[in-house]
Structure 1
Amino acid sequence: QLDIVRKNVVEISGRDAREVRVVACPYRICPLGAHIDHQGGIVTAMTINYGVLLGFVPSDDAEVVLQSGQFKGITRFRVDDLQKPIENRGNITWESYARGAVYALQNSGYDLRKGIIGYISGVNGLDSSGLSSSAAVGIAYLLALENVNDLVLSPVDNIQLDKSIENRYLGLENGILDPSAILLSRYGYLTFMDCKVCNITYPSRVGIICESSSAKRLHVLFYVRQALKMHQYSVKLIQVYMRPKSVY
C-alpha cells in the first residue's frame, strides 16, 4: 500500500518519488468506555496495525491538492483561505477533514504559508467502522501541514487541534479518546485515560485473542495479563462485540 500511495503522489504532483513524505496514523480499538470521553469518563484504548497513509509533497505555494483512495474526485483549496465551520453535518465529506485541519491551525494562531499535494488512503471497508478512522485522517493532515510549514508541535497540542477539527469545525461531540489513543498509545500496552483530569497511564501489557465465528458479530477477547483496577473492580477479561468488518 505504501508503494501505491507514493506512486499516486508522483502522478498528481509530477515530483520525484524520493521527494514523497508519508504520514502513517493507526486506527484504534476501545475495550471500555467508548463515547463517554467527552463526558469526562474513564476509557481504555489501544492502536492496531491498520490505519491511514497520507503521502504528500510540499506545494510551491499555499494550494492544497488532495486525492483519496476511497472516495472519488480531487479537492483543491488554499491554506491562506479563511475556513469557516460547517453548519450542517450533512455537508461533511472526505475533504472536510483537510479543511478542518487548516481551520484548527489557523484558529490556534499558526502561520500557514505552504500547502500540500497528497494522496490519502485507508483500509477498504474500515471507514465508519468504529475504529476512529476520522481522527486518524484529521491527525494525518495536521502532521503533514505542520511538516511543510516547519511547525513543531507536541502530541498534546495535536490532540487539542484534532479535537478542534471535530468539535468546532465539524460540530461533533468528540472527546480526547481517539486522538490520544492514536498519538500516545504504546506498543503492547493498554492506554488508560481519565478524561476528566486528562490523565493517561499504561498499567498493563495486553494480549489479544480474536475469535472468528459465523455469527453476525465477532467476539474479541482482551486478556489483561495484570489486574487492571477500574472503578474498584479487578478486570481480567474484557469481552467486546464489534462488527465483522472491524476485525481482521
Structure 2
Amino acid sequence: MVLEKKEKSKKLKSKCYCYMLQCSNHAYYTGWTTDISRRVKQHQSGRGSNYTKMNSPVELVYWETHKTNQIARKREISIKKMTHQMKKNIAHGNNHVEDDTKNFAKYEYFVSSPGRVNLLGEHVDYNGGPVLPVAIDRSVSLWANKQDDELFSIKTIDLNLEVIFSLESLERKLDIHGARMPDWALYPASVIWAAVKNQLTVSGFDAIFSSNVPIGAGLSSSAAVEIGFAALLREICNWQIDDTQLALLCQTAENDYVGVNCGIMDQFACANGVDNAALYLNTSSMKWYPVPLPEDVILIIADSKVKRALASSAYNERRESCNQALKIMRQYLPTINCLADINPDQLKNFGKSLSEVTYKRAKHVVDECQRVEQAVEFLKNGDIVSFGRLMREGHESLRDLYEVSIPEIDILVDLANQSQDCFGSRLTGAGFGGCTVSIVTKEKSDEFIQYLKSGYFKLTDKDINVYKCKARTGVFVEWRKINQSQN
C-alpha cells in the first residue's frame, strides 16, 4: 500500500486520524490512531482487533486528519453510528445526503432566512448611496444541532450533497478529505471564517438546509444562506451582536472569503426585513427605517432563467469603474467620501475628466441615489404611479449607463411596462441575467402573470418562472427541546 512507504509514514505521524477499513465481509471497520501506517499494518497482520482478525484481509479505504485525539475519537463514534450505506458513501467519496437526514424532528434549531428583491437603488450600496430593498417570502430553511467539536457538517437537500470541514481546513477552503470545498459550501464556510477573524466564538454543528430562493437570479440566495448560518451561530454561541452587525459580518465573509465585492444591501435586507414594508437604508450612515408598501399592490418577480455568477461576471469591473470615478472626482471635490456624495450638477461640471465609460457608471449611481430619495416620498404619500415611473427610469439607467441588462431582461421589462395592470418594472439585482420586479395591482396579479408568460414565450420561445411575493420579516431562529433518542 502507498501508505506503507517510509516518507509517507513520517509525514502522517504528526497528527491524529480517524480511519475506515473495508473487511472481507464488506463491512466497514472504523477506528482512530496517531500513526495510521503502523495501525493499518497491525490490522493486516491480525493484531489490530478481534473483528478485523476474523474478517481479514482488510483494506484502508478512507482516513481523515484531526488536530486532537478527542476530535478523532468523536468522529470515530459519529461514523460508527452511521448506516452501512452512509459509510460506503464516505469511503468512496460519494458525499450524497442519506434520506434519513430529512428527518427534521431530530434537529434542535430551525432558521428561516429570506431572500430579497431591490425596488430601487441598484449598484449604489457599495457607493455609499441609499437603497430600497424588500425581504421576500422566499427563503432558506435551515435545521441544525450543535456539536461539541470543531467539525462542521453541512448538507444541501436541493443538491443532495454534503461537505464536512474543520477549522483547520477552513482557511485553505478544503474539506476534511483535503479536497477543494464545493462552491455552494463557500457561503456557509465564509461565515465561520469571518467569525473566527473577528474573534467570535464558534462551535461545530451538523446542519441541513434547503432554499426556494432561485440561485443566480439576483434575489440574494447567497446572502440568505450566509445570514441563516450566521444567525444559527449567533444563537448557539451566544454572540452579542445585532442584526445589522450580523449583516456586516456576512458582507465581510462574502467579500474576503468568497471573493465577491458586494455591498451591504443584500445581507442587511435578509437580516432586517419588515412585514409589508420596504427598507430605506443609507449605506453610508447605516441609518434605516421601514417604508410601508400599499396594501392593494403585490410584487411580481419574473425569473429569466439566465443565470449569472457574480464572482466571474463584470460585477467587479463595474465596481472598479466607480472607484476610479471617485478617485478622479476627489481632485475637484476633496471632501466627498463616496460617489453618493456627488450631486448631478457637480457630476456635470467636473465629470469631463472621466472617460466615457466611467462617466456613464458614475451618472447611473448619482441619478439612482436621487431616485431612491424621491421614491420614498412617493411611497409615503401613496403615489404608486410616480413610484412606478422611477422604476422604469431606473431600468433605463441600468440598461444604458451601467450596462448590466441583457435582451431577455429588457423583453420582460418592456412587456410588463406595457400592461395597464403594472405600475412599473425593472431589472433587480446585479444584472447580467436574473430577474425583473414589477409592482402590480393585487387583484389583477394572476392575469398579469399569464400575460407576461405568454408574451415572453411568443417573443423568445422560452418559458420563465414567475413568483408572487410579499415583504416579510428578516431572519429568525427557533429552538426546541428534543429527546436524545431522536438523535
TMscore range, shorter length: 0.7 to 0.9
Paired with 2:206 and 2:301, the residues of 1 have a C-alpha distance of 40
Answering whether residue 278 of structure 2 is matched by residue 190 of structure 1, we say yes
Cα contact 1:33–1:43 (8 A) shared by 2: yes
In the TM superposition, residue 9 of structure 1 has moved relative to its aligned partner by 9.8
Answering whether residue 206 of structure 2 is matched by residue 117 of structure 1, we say yes
- 1:135 paired residue number: 223
- 1:83 paired residue number: 170
Larger CA deviation: 194-203 vs 174-183: 194-203
- 1:97 paired residue number: 187
- TM-score, normalization: structure 2? 0.41
Identical columns (%): 20
Q: Which has the higher contact order (CA 8 A, sep 6+)?
A: 1
Greater helix share, structure number? 2
Cα distance 1:18–1:27, how it changes in 2: closer, same or farther (>3 A)? Answer: same
Paired with 1:74 and 1:212, the residues of 2 have a C-alpha distance of 30
Aligned match for 1:164, one of 236, 252, 266: 252
Cα contact 2:114–2:140 (8 A) shared by 1: yes
In the TM superposition, residue 144 of structure 1 has moved relative to its aligned partner by 1.5
Q: How many residues align?
A: 222
- 1:4 paired residue number: none
Q: Secondary structure at the match of 1:67?
A: strand
- 1:209 paired residue number: 298
Cα distance 1:201–1:13, how it changes in 2: closer, same or farther (>3 A)? Answer: closer
In the TM superposition, residue 235 of structure 1 has moved relative to its aligned partner by 4.3
Larger CA deviation: 42-51 vs 202-211: 202-211
- 1:108 paired residue number: 198
Greater strand share, structure number? 1
Read off the aligned partner of 1:227 and give its amino acid letter. Answer: F
Cα distance 1:139–1:246, how it changes in 2: closer, same or farther (>3 A)? Answer: farther
Cα distance 1:35–1:108, how it changes in 2: closer, same or farther (>3 A)? Answer: same
Paired with 2:99 and 2:238, the residues of 1 have a C-alpha distance of 22
- 1:147 paired residue number: 235
Q: Secondary structure at the match of 1:138?
A: helix
Answering whether residue 286 of structure 2 is matched by residue 66 of structure 1, we say no
Cα contact 1:155–1:183 (8 A) shared by 2: yes
RMSD, aligned α-carbons:
3.2
Task: Name which one, 1 or 2, has greater alpha-carbon Rg.
Answer: 2
Deviations 1:133-172 (A, max 9, x none): 1000001111112222232321121011111111111121
Q: Which consecutive residues of structure 1, in runs of 5 or more, have no partner in the other structure?
A: 1-7, 218-223
In the TM superposition, residue 18 of structure 1 has moved relative to its aligned partner by 5.4
Cα distance 1:206–1:28, how it changes in 2: closer, same or farther (>3 A)? Answer: farther
- TM-score, normalization: structure 1? 0.77
Paired with 1:28 and 1:165, the residues of 2 have a C-alpha distance of 18
Paired with 2:99 and 2:184, the residues of 1 have a C-alpha distance of 21
In the TM superposition, residue 190 of structure 1 has moved relative to its aligned partner by 1.4
Paired with 1:12 and 1:110, the residues of 2 have a C-alpha distance of 29
Cα distance 1:81–1:147, how it changes in 2: closer, same or farther (>3 A)? Answer: farther
